[in-house]
Homo-oligomer: A and B are copies of this chain.
Amino acid sequence: MTTTQTDRTTVKRIGERGHYDRAVIDPIIDEALLCHVGTIEHGIPMVIPTLHARIGDHLILHGSPASRMLRSAKKAEICVTITLVDGFVLARSALHHSMNYRSVVILGQPETMTGPDKAAALDALVERLVPGRLPHLRAMTDEEVRATSVLRLPITEASAKVRTGPPVDDEEDYELPIWAGVLPIQTTYGPPITDPAMRSEVAVPEHVLGYRGPTGPSAGG
Protein backbone atom coordinates (compact mmCIF):
# COMPACT_ATOMS: atom_id res chain seq x y z
CA MET A 1 0.00 0.00 0.00
CA THR A 2 1.30 3.44 -0.70
CA THR A 3 1.76 5.32 2.52
CA THR A 4 2.92 8.86 2.92
CA GLN A 5 5.35 8.48 5.79
CA THR A 6 7.37 5.99 7.75
CA ASP A 7 5.21 3.15 8.98
CA ARG A 8 5.76 0.34 11.42
CA THR A 9 6.17 -2.04 8.51
CA THR A 10 8.14 -5.19 7.99
CA VAL A 11 9.58 -5.45 4.52
CA LYS A 12 10.98 -8.74 3.28
CA ARG A 13 12.52 -8.92 -0.16
CA ILE A 14 13.76 -11.77 -2.24
CA GLY A 15 16.02 -11.31 -5.23
CA GLU A 16 17.38 -7.76 -5.03
CA ARG A 17 18.57 -8.27 -1.51
CA GLY A 18 19.00 -12.03 -1.77
CA HIS A 19 16.55 -12.47 1.12
CA TYR A 20 14.46 -15.47 0.20
CA ASP A 21 11.80 -15.66 2.88
CA ARG A 22 9.21 -18.07 1.57
CA ALA A 23 7.84 -18.45 5.09
CA VAL A 24 6.42 -14.93 4.68
CA ILE A 25 5.54 -15.05 0.98
CA ASP A 26 3.83 -18.43 0.56
CA PRO A 27 1.04 -17.99 3.16
CA ILE A 28 0.06 -14.67 1.52
CA ILE A 29 -0.17 -16.32 -1.90
CA ASP A 30 -2.14 -19.24 -0.47
CA GLU A 31 -4.66 -17.16 1.48
CA ALA A 32 -5.54 -14.78 -1.37
CA LEU A 33 -8.65 -15.34 -3.48
CA LEU A 34 -7.08 -13.76 -6.55
CA CYS A 35 -4.09 -11.94 -7.96
CA HIS A 36 -3.56 -8.99 -10.32
CA VAL A 37 -1.37 -9.67 -13.35
CA GLY A 38 0.53 -6.81 -14.98
CA THR A 39 1.61 -7.05 -18.62
CA ILE A 40 2.57 -4.54 -21.30
CA GLU A 41 0.26 -4.23 -24.30
CA HIS A 42 1.44 -1.99 -27.14
CA GLY A 43 3.63 -0.07 -24.74
CA ILE A 44 0.91 0.51 -22.15
CA PRO A 45 0.66 -1.26 -18.79
CA MET A 46 -2.38 -3.52 -18.36
CA VAL A 47 -3.55 -5.02 -15.05
CA ILE A 48 -6.05 -7.89 -15.03
CA PRO A 49 -7.47 -9.78 -12.02
CA THR A 50 -7.32 -13.56 -12.26
CA LEU A 51 -7.38 -16.69 -10.10
CA HIS A 52 -4.16 -18.42 -9.14
CA ALA A 53 -2.81 -21.43 -7.31
CA ARG A 54 0.62 -22.25 -5.93
CA ILE A 55 2.20 -25.61 -6.58
CA GLY A 56 5.46 -25.77 -4.69
CA ASP A 57 7.78 -23.16 -6.14
CA HIS A 58 5.46 -22.01 -8.93
CA LEU A 59 2.47 -19.75 -9.26
CA ILE A 60 -0.17 -21.18 -11.64
CA LEU A 61 -2.28 -18.94 -13.90
CA HIS A 62 -4.84 -20.07 -16.46
CA GLY A 63 -7.29 -18.79 -19.01
CA SER A 64 -8.59 -18.98 -22.51
CA PRO A 65 -5.90 -19.34 -25.19
CA ALA A 66 -7.51 -16.21 -26.68
CA SER A 67 -6.88 -14.18 -23.49
CA ARG A 68 -4.81 -11.11 -24.33
CA MET A 69 -3.25 -11.19 -20.89
CA LEU A 70 -2.05 -14.79 -21.24
CA ARG A 71 -0.79 -14.18 -24.76
CA SER A 72 1.28 -11.23 -23.54
CA ALA A 73 2.45 -13.19 -20.51
CA LYS A 74 3.93 -15.94 -22.70
CA LYS A 75 6.18 -13.49 -24.46
CA ALA A 76 7.61 -11.20 -21.82
CA GLU A 77 8.15 -10.61 -18.15
CA ILE A 78 5.03 -10.10 -16.06
CA CYS A 79 4.30 -8.81 -12.58
CA VAL A 80 1.87 -10.68 -10.34
CA THR A 81 0.67 -8.80 -7.26
CA ILE A 82 -1.34 -10.34 -4.43
CA THR A 83 -2.87 -8.18 -1.70
CA LEU A 84 -4.64 -9.10 1.52
CA VAL A 85 -6.27 -6.27 3.45
CA ASP A 86 -6.36 -6.78 7.22
CA GLY A 87 -7.58 -3.50 8.69
CA PHE A 88 -7.99 0.25 8.58
CA VAL A 89 -5.35 2.03 10.65
CA LEU A 90 -7.18 5.01 12.15
CA ALA A 91 -4.68 7.59 13.31
CA ARG A 92 -5.04 10.99 15.00
CA SER A 93 -4.16 12.92 11.83
CA ALA A 94 -5.33 12.30 8.27
CA LEU A 95 -1.76 11.83 7.05
CA HIS A 96 -1.01 8.90 9.35
CA HIS A 97 -4.07 6.92 8.33
CA SER A 98 -3.06 3.68 6.66
CA MET A 99 -4.04 0.07 6.07
CA ASN A 100 -2.78 -3.09 7.69
CA TYR A 101 -2.08 -5.40 4.77
CA ARG A 102 0.06 -8.19 3.42
CA SER A 103 1.18 -8.08 -0.20
CA VAL A 104 3.46 -10.04 -2.51
CA VAL A 105 4.96 -8.96 -5.83
CA ILE A 106 6.38 -11.67 -8.13
CA LEU A 107 8.28 -10.79 -11.30
CA GLY A 108 9.30 -13.19 -14.03
CA GLN A 109 8.76 -14.86 -17.34
CA PRO A 110 6.07 -17.54 -17.16
CA GLU A 111 6.28 -20.80 -19.08
CA THR A 112 3.45 -22.67 -20.80
CA MET A 113 2.44 -25.93 -19.14
CA THR A 114 1.66 -29.11 -21.10
CA GLY A 115 0.93 -32.79 -20.46
CA PRO A 116 -0.09 -34.32 -17.12
CA ASP A 117 1.36 -31.37 -15.15
CA LYS A 118 -1.06 -29.08 -16.94
CA ALA A 119 -4.12 -31.15 -16.00
CA ALA A 120 -2.89 -31.38 -12.40
CA ALA A 121 -2.44 -27.61 -12.30
CA LEU A 122 -6.05 -27.07 -13.43
CA ASP A 123 -7.26 -29.41 -10.69
CA ALA A 124 -5.13 -27.50 -8.19
CA LEU A 125 -6.84 -24.23 -9.13
CA VAL A 126 -10.24 -25.61 -8.09
CA GLU A 127 -9.04 -27.57 -5.09
CA ARG A 128 -6.99 -24.70 -3.66
CA LEU A 129 -9.87 -22.23 -3.74
CA VAL A 130 -12.55 -24.67 -2.55
CA PRO A 131 -10.84 -27.54 -0.71
CA GLY A 132 -12.81 -30.77 -0.91
CA ARG A 133 -14.69 -29.80 -4.08
CA LEU A 134 -12.67 -31.70 -6.69
CA PRO A 135 -13.73 -35.26 -5.72
CA HIS A 136 -17.37 -34.23 -6.28
CA LEU A 137 -16.82 -33.22 -9.90
CA ARG A 138 -16.65 -35.22 -13.08
CA ALA A 139 -13.07 -35.46 -14.36
CA MET A 140 -11.90 -32.91 -16.92
CA THR A 141 -11.89 -34.19 -20.49
CA ASP A 142 -8.74 -34.06 -22.61
CA GLU A 143 -10.54 -31.58 -24.83
CA GLU A 144 -11.23 -29.29 -21.87
CA VAL A 145 -7.59 -29.42 -20.81
CA ARG A 146 -6.49 -28.64 -24.38
CA ALA A 147 -8.91 -25.71 -24.55
CA THR A 148 -7.26 -23.97 -21.60
CA SER A 149 -3.92 -22.22 -21.43
CA VAL A 150 -1.99 -22.78 -18.22
CA LEU A 151 1.14 -20.82 -17.32
CA ARG A 152 3.49 -21.26 -14.42
CA LEU A 153 5.72 -18.57 -13.00
CA PRO A 154 8.66 -19.47 -10.77
CA ILE A 155 8.43 -17.81 -7.35
CA THR A 156 12.03 -16.61 -7.51
CA GLU A 157 12.09 -12.85 -7.87
CA ALA A 158 9.49 -12.07 -5.22
CA SER A 159 9.02 -9.69 -2.34
CA ALA A 160 6.52 -9.40 0.47
CA LYS A 161 5.44 -6.30 2.31
CA VAL A 162 3.48 -6.43 5.57
CA ARG A 163 2.05 -3.74 7.84
CA THR A 164 0.60 -4.70 11.21
CA GLY A 165 -0.23 -2.97 14.45
CA PRO A 166 -1.66 0.33 15.67
CA PRO A 167 -1.22 3.77 14.06
CA VAL A 168 2.07 5.62 14.40
CA ASP A 169 1.26 9.28 15.06
CA ASP A 170 3.32 12.41 15.51
CA GLU A 171 4.42 12.59 19.14
CA GLU A 172 2.42 15.74 19.98
CA ASP A 173 -0.78 14.26 18.51
CA TYR A 174 -0.94 11.50 21.15
CA GLU A 175 -2.22 14.14 23.58
CA LEU A 176 -5.29 14.84 21.42
CA PRO A 177 -8.59 13.36 22.67
CA ILE A 178 -9.13 11.43 19.40
CA TRP A 179 -9.98 7.74 19.32
CA ALA A 180 -7.29 5.88 17.41
CA GLY A 181 -6.84 2.22 16.66
CA VAL A 182 -7.41 -0.47 14.07
CA LEU A 183 -10.69 -1.55 12.50
CA PRO A 184 -10.12 -5.16 11.37
CA ILE A 185 -11.32 -6.27 7.93
CA GLN A 186 -12.34 -9.89 7.36
CA THR A 187 -13.65 -11.93 4.45
CA THR A 188 -16.65 -14.12 5.23
CA TYR A 189 -18.59 -16.65 3.18
CA GLY A 190 -22.13 -17.84 2.63
CA PRO A 191 -24.87 -18.79 2.99
CA PRO A 192 -24.71 -20.85 -0.23
CA ILE A 193 -27.21 -20.18 -3.03
CA THR A 194 -28.25 -23.40 -4.78
CA ASP A 195 -28.37 -23.25 -8.60
CA PRO A 196 -32.06 -22.98 -9.56
CA ALA A 197 -31.26 -25.26 -12.52
CA MET A 198 -30.53 -28.29 -10.27
CA ARG A 199 -32.41 -31.31 -11.67
CA SER A 200 -32.23 -33.47 -8.54
CA GLU A 201 -32.22 -32.86 -4.79
CA VAL A 202 -28.62 -32.76 -3.62
CA ALA A 203 -27.80 -31.55 -0.11
CA VAL A 204 -25.33 -28.67 0.15
CA PRO A 205 -22.04 -30.50 0.80
CA GLU A 206 -19.82 -29.90 3.80
CA HIS A 207 -17.01 -28.38 1.70
CA VAL A 208 -19.46 -25.57 0.85
CA LEU A 209 -21.35 -25.27 4.17
CA GLY A 210 -18.15 -25.34 6.22
CA TYR A 211 -16.10 -23.18 3.85
CA ARG A 212 -13.56 -21.02 5.68
CA GLY A 213 -11.35 -19.73 2.83
CA PRO A 214 -8.67 -21.04 0.49
CA THR A 215 -5.99 -23.28 1.90
CA GLY A 216 -2.39 -23.75 1.13
CA PRO A 217 -0.86 -25.54 -1.81
CA SER A 218 -2.65 -28.64 -3.00
CA ALA A 219 0.53 -30.41 -4.05
CA GLY A 220 4.27 -30.23 -3.80
CA GLY A 221 4.39 -27.36 -1.35
Contacts and interface: CB of A to CB of B under 8 A. Distances in A.
Interface stretch (A16-24, A46-54, A110-118): A46-54
A169 B144 CA distance: 13
Contacts of A39: 45
Contacts of A14: none
Mostly helix, strand, loop or mixed at chain A's interface? mixed
Interface in A172-213: 173-200, 202-205, 208, 211
> How many copies of this chain are found per oligomer?
2
A29 interface: no
Interface residues of A, number: 100
A107 to B, nearest CB: 7
A82 to B, nearest CB: 9
Given A48-B81, A77-B44, A79-B44, A70 B2 contact: yes
12 contacts: A2-B62, A4-B64, A5-B147, A36-B49, A45-B78, A47-B47, A88-B130, A90-B130, A94-B123, A180-B198, A182-B192, A185-B189
